[in-house]
């Protein structure tokens, strides 16, 4: 069956906690609810006491019947039984109410914590783990967490009931009581054995379910591709296999959970048989009365109920513990970004200095090595270079999305590690490579960075981008709904919205990663005008590809393999005829209407320089 378990490994940030540690943390969440929890516990104790009354009262009345036939006393006892059941019900009513309230609050609290934890993770976390799995931890797993608590409370009442009955039995006849308890070791043994296996099975089952879900998520997200290539059949076949795997894994754990019950019931029934036999003997020997015998037999049926509850408790308790383990692992995942301080950021001029920076995404390959550079406040810097030269990494490091391994980054002379990140980000504008929009209107998205902005402000900003012509193309202007991830809008429109969003944010430092990509030629010109406005008066780091963007730059940095190959103005670099002119050459040829693709790379021969550059 080895194949069934393939690919069901844990996430990298998963860790194992001891049960004790988990429970301690869960209890920690309930501390603020202490008065409510105490009330609930009192109600539970009360409830258990009332529930024990029934077999006792019945057994007493049987004894009075067999001896004196006093119907009157029996009727009074029945009256007691009635009262106790009404009281017990009322206790339960309040108990349920209070439990729902406290558990509801705690789950809300935990979800809030989990979500806040997710939000505070750095970008490397989101690159590594699929959104589907993160989401399931915050919603589904916190819900399973709630069941742990509800179950624990139920268990408490069951155990109390159990203890009360056992105490009563011992007072009646300790020999028979001991006999009643002979089945205990068997039940405990089975339950413990079950516990060991259950936890392992549960983890596998949940992981395989997570795999099915991420498979479904992938097809829902990539449905267009599947349709274009008519690959529905293959997708289906693959899903079927994963679904079948999940079926076997889940069936196995299901068998375990549901099979444990009959086994425990069977053991309990053997107990009943023992009591019937030896109890009968005791009655014949005159050791106990018939009423007491009845009490023992009846109690057994009351006794194994809590015991099976304990067993079923384990099953779901394990589910819940495994779930809370995953939630806590999410909460405790070590952030890779380590801030050494939280200094107030205030107004930023926008000077950025890299000092002997060392950076790699993982151990495999170093992206930046001994990288030093100073960007003056208000300067527009364009980074150019081949893919993988480290251009995007520079943007991500200034954004403080990733942790670097050596050297320093200074913002206005202050170590980036000492700044308050939230305040810093507020002063930072980022136009990502692929613009993400939130569902809502275009206006909502523009004011995303500054939710307090008025409609008039939003409109004014939108007008500044490309003279506002693009708003006309939207069916309902700024009130157009953008759909999930903005997919009701075209790529170009999303870009424009992203630009407007940053413009409204009015940051001191702007980081633009290929921001002008994928806008149609007609809109392109308008965007350039918008960029003029955005780039003015702030430090801008542009990972640039467009001629006009580069022309705007005060300085161009040519990156090659994580090092600065050349730097200077466009004219200087062209004159030098080095690395930049190579890049420039290919870069512009395709933008010229006369360009014909696939003609290869033509080296620049500057008339002023004798040595032609070669590849």
Between residue 117 and residue 146, which ones bind another protein under the rule CB under 8 A? 118-120, 123, 126-132, 134-136, 138-140, 143
- If one asks whether residue 30 binds another protein (CB under 8 A), the answer comes out as no
Binding mask 144-183 for another protein (x = CB under 8 A): ----------------------------------------
- Interface with another protein (CB under 8 A), residue from 13, 17, 30, 54: 54
Binding mask 325-354 for another protein (x = CB under 8 A): ------------------------------
Pick the piece of the chain touching another protein (CB under 8 A) from 24-32, 176-184, 194-202, 208-216.
208-216
Sign of the dihedral defined by the CA atoms of residues 586, 588, 590, 592, in that order: negative
* Two tokens, residue 326: 């995953």
Give CA–CA dist 251/412, Å, rounded. Answer: 61
| Residue whose CB is less far from another protein, 366 or 490 | 490
Give CA–CA dist 383/545, Å, rounded. Answer: 9
| Residue whose CB is less far from another protein, 353 or 493 | 493
Min CB(174)–another protein separation in Å: 21
Find tokens 């208000």 and name the residue: 378
| Residue whose CB is less far from another protein, 94 or 170 | 94
Min CB(490)–another protein separation in Å: 5
Alpha helix positions (H), 2-70: 19-30, 34-68
Name the phi and psi angles at 421, rounded to 5: -65, -40
- Interface with another protein (CB under 8 A), residue from 68, 116, 418, 467: 116
Sign of the dihedral defined by the CA atoms of residues 272, 277, 281, 284, in that order: positive
Strands 563-568 and 555-560: antiparallel
- Interface with another protein (CB under 8 A), residue from 3, 16, 28, 571: 571
In a 3-state reduction of DSSP, which class is residue 604? Answer: coil
| Residue whose CB is less far from another protein, 129 or 162 | 129
What are the residues whose beta carbons fall under 8 Å from the beta carbon of 397, sequence distance 6 or more?
357, 359, 368, 404, 409
- If one asks whether residue 47 binds another protein (CB under 8 A), the answer comes out as no
Give CA–CA dist 48/51, Å, rounded. Answer: 5
Min CB(328)–another protein separation in Å: 18
- Interface with another protein (CB under 8 A), residue from 10, 537, 572, 588: 588
| Residue whose CB is less far from another protein, 101 or 342 | 101
Give CA–CA dist 350/357, Å, rounded. Answer: 19
- If one asks whether residue 484 binds another protein (CB under 8 A), the answer comes out as yes
- Binding to another protein (CB under 8 A) within 420-479 occurs at 421-426, 428-430, 432-439, 448-449, 451, 469-470, 473-475
Alpha helix positions (H), 222-231: 223-228
Whether the CB-CB separation of 509 and 538 falls below 8 Å is answered with yes
| Residue whose CB is less far from another protein, 17 or 214 | 214
DSSP codes of every residue in 411-470: ETTEEGGGB-HHHHHHTEEEE-SS----SSBHHHHHGGG-TT--HHHHHHHHHHSGGGHH
- Interface with another protein (CB under 8 A), residue from 21, 24, 97, 200: 97
Min CB(176)–another protein separation in Å: 14
Residue 584: alpha-carbon gap to chain centroid: 44
Q: What letters, b where the CB count within 10 A reaches 16 and e where it falls short, cover 541-579?
A: bbbbbbebbbebbebbbbbeebebbbbeebeebbebbbb
Give CA–CA dist 452/448, Å, rounded. Answer: 9
Min CB(590)–another protein separation in Å: 5
Pick the piece of the chain touching another protein (CB under 8 A) from 166-174, 180-188, 292-300, 457-465.
292-300
- Binding to another protein (CB under 8 A) within 506-535 occurs at 514, 516-525
| Residue whose CB is less far from another protein, 297 or 355 | 297
Give CA–CA dist 148/318, Å, rounded. Answer: 8
Give CA–CA dist 186/280, Å, rounded. Answer: 24
Min CB(135)–another protein separation in Å: 5
Pick the piece of the chain touching another protein (CB under 8 A) from 170-178, 185-193, 321-329, 380-388.
380-388
Whether the CB-CB separation of 370 and 561 falls below 8 Å is answered with no
Min CB(303)–another protein separation in Å: 12
DSSP 364: S
- If one asks whether residue 583 binds another protein (CB under 8 A), the answer comes out as yes
Min CB(521)–another protein separation in Å: 4
Question: Total residues contacting another protein (rule CB under 8 A)?
Answer: 203
- Binding to another protein (CB under 8 A) within 259-278 occurs at 259, 261-263, 265-266, 269-270, 272-273, 276-277
- Binding to another protein (CB under 8 A) within 66-95 occurs at 66, 69, 71, 74-75, 78, 81-82, 84-86, 88-89, 92-95
- Interface with another protein (CB under 8 A), residue from 62, 321, 465, 499: 62
Min CB(20)–another protein separation in Å: 28
Name the phi and psi angles at 351, rounded to 5: -85, 130
Whether the CB-CB separation of 383 and 544 falls below 8 Å is answered with yes
- Binding to another protein (CB under 8 A) within 382-401 occurs at 384-389, 391, 399, 401
Name the phi and psi angles at 602, rounded to 5: -110, 120
Whether the CB-CB separation of 352 and 375 falls below 8 Å is answered with yes
- If one asks whether residue 101 binds another protein (CB under 8 A), the answer comes out as yes
């Amino acid at each position: 069956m080895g194949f069934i378990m393939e690919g069901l490994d844990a996430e990298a940030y998963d860790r194992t906690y001891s049960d004790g540690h988990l429970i301690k943390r869960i209890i920690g969440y309930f501390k603020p609810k202490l008065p409510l929890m105490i009330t609930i516990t009192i109600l539970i104790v009360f409830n258990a006491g009332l529930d024990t009354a029934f077999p006792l009262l019945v057994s007493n009345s049987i004894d009075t019947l067999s001896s004196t036939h006093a119907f009157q006393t029996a009727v009074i006892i029945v009256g007691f039984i009635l009262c106790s059941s009404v009281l017990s019900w009322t206790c339960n009513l309040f108990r349920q109410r209070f439990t729902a309230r406290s558990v509801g609050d705690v789950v809300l609290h935990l979800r809030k914590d989990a979500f806040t934890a997710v939000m505070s993770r750095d970008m490397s976390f989101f690159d590594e783990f699929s959104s589907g799995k993160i989401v399931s931890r915050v919603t589904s797993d916190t819900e399973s967490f709630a069941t742990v608590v509800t179950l624990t409370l139920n268990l408490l009442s069951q155990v109390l009931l159990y203890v009360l009955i056992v105490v009563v039995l011992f007072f009646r006849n300790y020999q028979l009581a001991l006999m009643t308890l002979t089945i205990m070791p068997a039940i405990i043994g089975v339950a413990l054995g079950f516990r060991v296996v259950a936890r392992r099975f549960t983890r596998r089952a949940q992981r395989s379910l997570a795999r099915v879900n991420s498979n479904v998520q992938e097809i829902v997200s990539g449905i267009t591709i599947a349709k274009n290539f008519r690959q529905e059949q293959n997708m289906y076949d693959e899903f079927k296999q994963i679904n079948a795997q999940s079926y076997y894994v889940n069936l196995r754990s299901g068998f375990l959970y549901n099979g444990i019950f009959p086994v425990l019931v069977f053991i309990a029934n053997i107990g009943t048989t023992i009591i019937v036999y030896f109890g009968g003997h005791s009655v014949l020997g005159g050791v106990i009365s018939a009423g007491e015998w009845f009490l023992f037999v009846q109690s057994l049926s009351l006794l194994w109920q809590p015991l099976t509850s304990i067993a079923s408790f384990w099953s779901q308790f394990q589910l819940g513990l495994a779930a809370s383990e995953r939630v806590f692992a999410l909460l405790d995942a070590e952030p890779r970004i380590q801030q050494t301080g939280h200094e107030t950021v205030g107004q930023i001029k926008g000077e950025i200095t890299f000092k002997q920076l060392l950076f790699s995404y993982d151990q495999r390959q170093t992206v930046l090595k001994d990288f030093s550079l100073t960007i003056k406040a208000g300067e527009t810097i364009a980074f150019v270079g081949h893919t993988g030269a480290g251009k995007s990494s520079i943007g991500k490091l200034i954004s403080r999305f990733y942790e670097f391994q050596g050297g320093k980054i200074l913002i206005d002379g202050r170590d980036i590690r000492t700044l308050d990140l939230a305040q810093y980000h507020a002063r930072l504008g980022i136009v990502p490579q692929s613009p993400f929009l939130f569902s809502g209107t275009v206006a909502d998205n523009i004011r995303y960075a500054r939710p307090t902005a008025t409609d008039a402000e939003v409109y004014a900003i939108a007008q500044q981008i490309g003279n506002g012509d693009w708003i006309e193309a939207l069916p309902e202007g700024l009130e157009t709904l953008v759909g999930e991830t903005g997919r009701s809008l075209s790529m170009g429109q999303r870009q424009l919205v992203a630009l407007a969003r940053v413009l409204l944010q009015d940051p001191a430092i702007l980081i633009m990663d290929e921001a002008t990509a994928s806008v149609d030629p007609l809109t392109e010109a308008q965007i350039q005008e918008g960029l003029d406005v955005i780039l003015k008066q702030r430090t801008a780091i542009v990972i640039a590809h467009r001629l006009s963007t580069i022309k705007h730059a005060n300085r161009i940095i040519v990156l090659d393999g994580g090092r600065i190959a050349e730097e200077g103005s466009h004219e200087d670099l062209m004159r030098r005829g080095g690395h930049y002119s190579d890049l420039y050459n290919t870069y512009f040829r395709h933008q010229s209407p006369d360009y014909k693709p696939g003609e290869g790379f033509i080296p620049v021969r500057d008339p002023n320089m004798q040595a032609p550059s070669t590849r």
